[in-house]
Amino acid sequence: MNFYPPQHLAATVEQEVESIYLASEQYFVALFTKHKQALAVTPLVAADAFIALTNALLTDILYNTPQAVATRRVEASWHVFYTGIKK
């Protein structure tokens, strides 16, 4: 599977993807800021970790990981993520 756009669309796609990443970062930083008293890390660190975790899990699902394995990985990942960010 190829994740790269055709060369003539590369710059446009890169700008769009960057815009989406920035918007999602801003959204999650704002969300975690509302709950910063419960965090052991900064809202930006929590947002970055959350985005990285969801990207990894979605990529895993994209590559047709068996359902039982995907479910186990999601549950384990959320447990580790939440344990790591809460006070």
CA distance linking residue 32 with residue 76, whole number of Å: 21
Domain membership of residue 61 (yes or no) is yes
For residue 24, tell me if it sits in a domain: no
Q: How many domains does the chain have?
A: 1
Whether 71 is in a domain gets the answer yes
- Reduce the DSSP state of residue 79 to 3 states and report it: helix
Structure-token pair, residue 61: 């699902």
pLDDT tens-digit readout, 8-48 = 999 999 999 899 999 999 999 999 999 999 999 999 999 99
pLDDT at 64 (0 to 100): 81
pLDDT at 75 over 80: yes
The residue range of the domain holding 58 is: 37-87
pLDDT for 65: 86
What is residue 85's three-state secondary structure? helix
pTM to 2 decimal places: 0.82
Question: Does 28 reside within a domain?
Answer: no
pLDDT reported for residue 82 = 93
The verdict on residue 6 lying in a domain is no
Judge whether 3 lies within some domain.
Answer: no
